[in-house]
Amino acid sequence: MTDALVNIENLSRVFDVSKPWLNRVLEREEKKHLIAVNDVSFNIRKGETFALVGESGSGKSTIAKLIVGLIKPSGGQITFDGTNVATQGSASMRQLRSRFQMIFQDPFASLNPRWRVKEIIAEPVRTFGLEGNNMNWENRVDQLLEIVGMSSRDGAKFPHEFSGGQRQRIAIARALSAQPEFIVCDEPTSALDVSVQAQILNLMRDLQDEFGLTYLFISHDLSVVRHMASRIGVLYLGRLVEVAEGKTLFKDPKHPYTKMLLDAVPDLEMTGRQRQPVEGEIPNPIDPPSGCTFHPRCALANTRCKSENPSLTLHGTTETACFAVEDGRTSV
């Protein structure tokens, strides 16, 4: 697609989780690898919110870190606005890097407790040399604080003087200060109470409209994702199992895992719907099942699912990696 801002192709990341060399020799063990991200491809279009959902250990945060370059991929490509991120030299990477920012989950850990708020917010401005003349950055900080709904007086305070929601606002102001086009949000509201979460989600939407931002939104909370995302990718054990438009995914989920996940969300509407009891748990990623990694928990699994690994194919507007969907099976 031409209007893709970020393009991820066959991205993989393997972590070496082996015991130390001597133990391996003594205990005659092989090296162990954890495939955190396995052959993931998707693209994020300009101005949209692409969400990644999945349970713990599905590789959501690893993908976020790969995209912003906090860890290096083991394979595959990340292209940002036409340039390959991995092959950039440090100078051009630095330039590119100023165009995307990240917001982290825990606003208590992501702000330096010894810095004043204005210093925290101004850091990207100064690092990337965007301040123009030096007199200006304080004005810029005041402006940013107002944009995220705080007062310019708050700039002189320290992070500990603020509540979780306000800290997350500061983290957002910091992310905005470099005037990025793309922001990776890794569980931005899961440390917050619901009423504060609503404030932050509304703020993020307003900012998107105002500055034309593109978001990669990572969350385990399906209702939050539904509220925020225009397109959604569902991850299971490091693989994308389904990519769909936000509304389609919730109305017409294709992959059995997506169906199970949606079914498990507590029902606030109290419709008293009959729920399919959830079977089993996410397997150990060090020793994943053969074939489709979901087959031990899947009601539709047949022998092919146990040996072969499905890849993403298009069904309507939804991309799904499932043999049962491909064959149109609804029973074994």
Partner 1 sequence: MSDVLLSVQDLVVEFPTRKGILTAVDRISFDISRGEVLGVVGESGAGKSMTGSAIIGLIEPPGHIAGGSISLAGERIDNLPRDAMRKVRGKRIGMVFQDPLTSLNPLYTIAEQLIETIRTHMKLSESAARARAIELLDEVGIPAASRRIDDYPHQFSGGMRQRVVIALALCAEPELIIADEPTTALDVSVQSQIIDVLKRLCSEHRTAVMLITHDMGVIAEAADRVAVLYAGRVAEIGPVKDVIKDAKHPYTKGLMGSIPTLMQDSDRLTQIPGSMPRLTDIPPGCAFSPRCPKAFARCFIEQPGCKVHDGRDVACMLYDEGTAL
Q: Tell me: does residue 329 bind partner 1 (CB under 8 A).
A: no
Q: Tell me: does residue 106 bind partner 1 (CB under 8 A).
A: no
Q: Tell me: does residue 268 bind partner 1 (CB under 8 A).
A: yes
Angle at 257 between CA 256 and CA 262, to 5 degrees: 100
Chain positions 24 to 83 lying near partner 1, rule: CB under 8 A, are 55-56
What gap in Å lies between CA 146 and CA 125, rounded to an integer? 17
Give the residue, chosen from 220, 259, 304, 315, that forms a contact with partner 1 under the rule CB under 8 A: 220
Q: Tell me: does residue 196 bind partner 1 (CB under 8 A).
A: yes
86 vs 109, 127, 129, 259, 315, CA distance in Å?
A: 28, 21, 23, 35, 32
Q: How far is the CB of 199 from partner 1 (least distance, A)?
A: 5
Q: How far is the CB of 26 from partner 1 (least distance, A)?
A: 22
Q: Tell me: does residue 269 bind partner 1 (CB under 8 A).
A: yes
Q: How far is the CB of 198 from partner 1 (least distance, A)?
A: 3
Q: Tell me: does residue 287 bind partner 1 (CB under 8 A).
A: no
Which tokens is 46 given?
């300009």
Tell me, by CB under 8 A, how many residues bind partner 1. 40
183: β partners: 101, 215
- Residue 56 main-chain phi, psi, to 5 deg: -60, 140
Contact 3, 44 (CB under 8 A): no
| Exposure letters 188-217 (e unless 16+ CB within 10 A, then b) | bbebbeeebbebbbebbeebbeeeebbbbb
Q: Tell me: does residue 226 bind partner 1 (CB under 8 A).
A: yes
Q: Tell me: does residue 157 bind partner 1 (CB under 8 A).
A: no
Q: How far is the CB of 307 from partner 1 (least distance, A)?
A: 25
Q: How far is the CB of 209 from partner 1 (least distance, A)?
A: 11
CB atoms within 10 A of CB 331: 7
Give the residue, chosen from 71, 96, 130, 282, that forms a contact with partner 1 under the rule CB under 8 A: 282
Angle at 47 between CA 43 and CA 53, to 5 degrees: 50
Query: What residues line the site for partner 1 (CB under 8 A)?
Result: 55-56, 163-166, 193-199, 201-202, 205, 220, 222-224, 226-227, 247, 250, 260-270, 275, 277-278, 281-282
